[in-house]
Amino acid sequence: MTETERSAERFSPRVRALPSTIPFVGPEALERRLGRPFKARLGANESVFGPSPKAVSAMADAAALSWAYGDAEQLDLRQAISQKLGLTPDHIVAGEGIDGLLRDLVQAAMEPGDMAVTSLGAYPTFNYHVTAHGGALDFVPYGEDFRQDWPALVARAKVVRPKILYLTNPDNPTGSWHDAKAVEAVLRDVPEETLIVLDEAYADFAPAEALPETTRLAPNLLRFRTFSKAYGMAGVRVGFVFGEPDAIAQFGKVRNHFGLSRMAQAGALAALSDDDHLRKTVEKVAAGRKALAELARAKGLVPLASGTNFVAIDLGRDGTYARAVLDAVLRRGVFIRMPGAAPLDRMIRVSVGTPADIALFAEALDGALEEVNADQPHLPTGNAS
């Protein structure tokens, strides 16, 4: 056996063959490439309004106690979450962000060759975990209205009968949402052996009409939420899933039991006790969304309605054009992102920041549009195909 052959035998041949690209290049990595720090960080849908001071204080206190592993059963946190939701702790499992929990789910649900159905251009980290576990993905395009096409996803699930159907509500990267009735239609029509992931990362920002009651569960429904967005704790890594106890129990067979740090548990628990901070953050985000939308309209661009903490802005041309504008904004020191797949890739996606952040973005966008429109005056307008 040659070294090349031996090397190929180390690790799974399937994993060896995977690309080294990661779902999201982080802002620190971009800063290193660009050679300077960003002036405004509006690309990862973080909350610049920060965590609750109560959470910050609880985490600082927990730092000194962090010689001890965190509670593997996460009981205090699961109790507090379940009380908020009108459920019991056995309906809840917490984990290292929704990313970590999606990984747990994929590992628990899918064997190599199993199928998952998602929207083309939806959250790439879900796709990443499916692929990294040997699963196969089936994609349904977004609708003409830039929303996930739930009827088409359901129809596809009836044909493919996947292990997992991935839905977001409200949606990233568009900010759009479906209403609770649409969730009911999905629950009625999707094969009962398919697990429905309802990724509600942005639920705290959503119009009330978008969200089924938190007590609306089903044997094949798993609802994912996070402290990364409205609670302003992306860097802490805490998310949770709620669902029926039998489904929740399967996470315990694969998850990293001591993975949720002592600081994360203490911080999330304290954050749940500060409704006032959450309310104020949601208000600031609503104001920021409005400011971003007005700014886009003032430049003749089309902001999408958003039930999240970001605004997708339709630049009205194609992916090449949007990519050029994005790069020009990044070079001007403002971190934003854009969707990767058509028809969404004619947009840029801007997280809500402080008024100062939004002013920096406005200035960078002005310069970027001027530069790109001067360089590429002949780019086609209209949908990318």
Decide if residue 220 touches a second copy (CB under 8 A).
yes
Residues 284 and 72: beta-carbon distance below 8 Å? no
Give dist(CA 55, CA 57) in Å, integer: 5
Q: Which of 236, 324, 369, 372 binds a second copy (CB under 8 A)?
A: 236
Q: Which stretch binds a second copy (CB under 8 A): 255-263, 310-318, 336-344, 363-371?
A: 255-263
Element at 98 (helix H, strand E)? helix 97-109
Smallest distance from a second copy to CB 297, Å = 28
**Binders of a second copy in range 109-168 (CB under 8 A):** 109-112, 114, 132-134, 163
Decide if residue 287 touches a second copy (CB under 8 A).
no
Smallest distance from a second copy to CB 294, Å = 25
Of 176 and 308, which has the nearer Cβ to a second copy? 308
Decide if residue 345 touches a second copy (CB under 8 A).
no
Residue 14: left (phi > 0), alpha (psi -120 to 50), or beta? alpha
Residue type for 308, please?
T
Of 259 and 316, which has the nearer Cβ to a second copy? 259
Residues 382 and 345: beta-carbon distance below 8 Å? no
**Binders of a second copy in range 194-213 (CB under 8 A):** 194-195
Q: Which stretch binds a second copy (CB under 8 A): 107-115, 147-155, 310-318, 339-347?
A: 107-115
> Which among 104, 100, 75, 107 has a CA at the least distance from the CA of 90?
75
Of 150 and 335, which has the nearer Cβ to a second copy? 335
Q: Which of 85, 87, 93, 100 binds a second copy (CB under 8 A)?
A: 100
Q: Which stretch binds a second copy (CB under 8 A): 103-111, 138-146, 151-159, 198-206?
A: 103-111
Q: Is 22 exposed, middle or buried (0-12, 13-18, 19+ CB in 10 A)?
A: exposed
Q: Which of 169, 250, 306, 309 binds a second copy (CB under 8 A)?
A: 250
Decide if residue 381 touches a second copy (CB under 8 A).
no
Decide if residue 283 touches a second copy (CB under 8 A).
no
Give dist(CA 210, CA 247) in Å, integer: 24
The number of residues that bind a second copy (CB under 8 A) is 93
What is the rounded end-to-end Cα distance, in angstroms, of the chain?
Answer: 48
Decide if residue 192 touches a second copy (CB under 8 A).
yes
Q: Which stretch binds a second copy (CB under 8 A): 83-91, 175-183, 242-250, 338-346?
A: 242-250
Residue 151, φ and ψ in degrees, nearest 5: -60, -40
Of 195 and 198, which has the nearer Cβ to a second copy? 195
Decide if residue 23 touches a second copy (CB under 8 A).
yes
Smallest distance from a second copy to CB 309, Å = 11
Residues 365 and 42: beta-carbon distance below 8 Å? no
Smallest distance from a second copy to CB 181, Å = 24
Decide if residue 264 touches a second copy (CB under 8 A).
yes
Decide if residue 314 touches a second copy (CB under 8 A).
no
Smallest distance from a second copy to CB 251, Å = 10
For the record, the structure tokens of 320 come out as 């090449």
* 262-272 vs 53-64: helix crossing angle, rounded to 10: 150
**Binders of a second copy in range 48-67 (CB under 8 A):** 48-51, 55-56, 59-60, 62-67
Contacts 24+ apart (CB under 8 A), 211-217: 211/169, 211/180, 212/180, 212/183, 212/184, 213/86, 213/180, 214/84, 214/85, 214/86, 214/87, 214/242, 215/85, 215/86, 215/87, 216/180, 216/183, 217/87, 217/91, 217/242, 217/243, 217/244
Residues 382 and 315: beta-carbon distance below 8 Å? no
Q: What is the CA radius of gyration of the chain?
A: 21
Smallest distance from a second copy to CB 197, Å = 12
Smallest distance from a second copy to CB 274, Å = 14
Q: Which stretch binds a second copy (CB under 8 A): 18-26, 84-92, 176-184, 204-212?
A: 18-26
Say how many C-beta atoms besides its own lie within 10 A of residue 139's C-beta.
16
